[in-house]
Amino acid sequence: MGTAERRETAGDGTAAREATRQQAAPATRTSDEAGRRADSGPAREAAEARAAYRPLWVEEPARRRRLPDPVRTAAVRAVLIIAVTLVQAMVALLCTLAGSWLAFPMVISSVVSTIAATWAVLDVWVTRQVWNQRHGVVSTPSSTARALRRERRQARRAQRAAGRERARIRRRGGAGQLSHP
């Protein structure tokens, strides 16, 4: 895998695609020049191979953030318990259809596993809520809050600029001089 496939992008992956196209364009020019210089032979074959190179894929960043470790651990545990529950339910069904003596214990264990699977899913939900409460949630302010903050910031800047101007006038003599002497 070349460097073009590993390139990180900040948005929707267009930067990596553009960079790959830019790398492919000089390769086609060099293949034409190499073809004119050497009519046949290994040099021309190598140039053609470079011109035909196209990456198989361009890696793009994930759209969602990764789950926190405790939440991910609880989710994996829940998936495993649910998988075991489904296998037990299937075995209980097949044992019932076959008329095996194992059917009754498997049905009982399937019921218990269903309760455990429900508990595991609730554990994922509770763990996620606790983690969000302890570590904070990334929230984006609404546009109105952003506009209000921007207005306050501009008012503070204007106030500071006026204070600096008054202090500068006081330092110069404070006589309200409009021009230099």
CA dist 129 and 127 (Å) reads 5
pLDDT: which is higher, 27 or 63: 63
* Among 14-18, 94-98, 112-116, the least confident range: 14-18
Distances 60 to 15, 25, 112, 150, 159 between C-alpha atoms, Å: 10, 22, 43, 33, 45
Q: What is the pLDDT of residues 153-166, one digit of tens each?
A: 999 999 999 999 88
Q: What is the pLDDT of residues 39-90, one digit of tens each?
A: 567 777 777 766 677 778 888 887 888 888 999 999 999 999 999 999 999 9
Report pTM: 0.45
pLDDT at 138: 60
Taking CB atoms within 8 Å and a gap of at least 24, the contacts of 40-48 are none
